[in-house]
Amino acid sequence: QKEVEQDPGPLSVPEGAIVSLNCTYSNSAFQYFMWYRQYSRKGPELLMYTYSSGNKEDGRFTAQVDKSSKYISLFIRDSQPSDSATYLCANCYSSNDYKLSFGAGTTVTVRA
Amino acid sequence: DTGVSQNPRHKITKRGQNVTFRCDPISEHNRLYWYRQTLGQGPEFLTYFQNEAQLEKSRLLSDRFSAERPKGSFSTLEIQRTEQGDSAMYLCASSLESSGTPYEQYFGPGTRLTVT
């Protein structure tokens, strides 16, 4: 069993829709939870990170972590064609940890 | 733009040949990482440097793989006697230890290796 499971999609939504992305993880020792965005032929870029359970909002993006159910989510409001990318969830154990465990990524297409 | 750069961007090689990739991290970043990403999968950790010291190697990094970071600046990843299973995107990332956020890793565009 992989440490981080992510629905690979693909996901296609019309412009302006809310995009909902989810991951589950198996190791309760994970403390930090990240979302990376990867455009085609590019390296991943850090979008958001959260520590412990709760919500974090940044503009049109909201990250949620539920440590009791080992479930992390990313919501994109008012989606734009420029949001079309692969979204990768990632976890690490502590603030000293450097070894990120990534999900497989969900490919999102926002149709104009 | 002084982001992470990787060369070459693409490499096609025949099975059994040796290949070497180069990564130039963001200049002030003292931590450097190599990941491998296959189609439809997320990046998988390969190895990690703090300055010039290689501090961890994944079990994914067989004896045919070697990485160096002389003088704590650029890094090279060499694959000897390539196999078709080595075909993947090789990603380099860097981060700043003093940032307190080691998970905030900045990735390069990757080197896509195809072994025929």
List, for residues B32-78, the tens digit of each pLDDT value.
999 999 998 999 999 999 999 999 888 888 899 999 999 889 999 99
- Mean pLDDT, chain B, whole residue set: 92
Higher pLDDT, B5 or B99: B5
**A8/B48 CB distance under 8 A:** no
User: Contact A23/A86 with Cβ under 8 angstroms?
Assistant: no
With a CB-CB cutoff of 8 Å, which residues 71-100 of chain A face chain B? Answer: 88, 90, 92, 95-100
Q: Is the dihedral of CA A3, A7, A9, A14 positive or negative?
A: negative
Q: Is A75 exposed, middle or buried (0-12, 13-18, 19+ CB in 10 A)?
A: middle
Residue B61: predicted pLDDT: 86
Q: Nearest residue on chain A to B97, judged by CA atoms? A: A96
Q: Which of A41-55, A90-104, B18-32 has the lowest mean pLDDT?
A: A90-104
Q: Nearest residue on chain A to B31, judged by CA atoms? A: A98
User: Contact B4/B108 with Cβ under 8 angstroms?
Assistant: yes
The answer, for A106 touching chain B at a CB cutoff of 8 Å, is no
**B42/A46 CB distance under 8 A:** no
**Residue numbers in A near B91 (CB within 8 A):** 43-44
List, for residues A20-68, the tens digit of each pLDDT value.
999 999 888 888 899 999 999 899 999 998 887 888 999 999 999 998 8
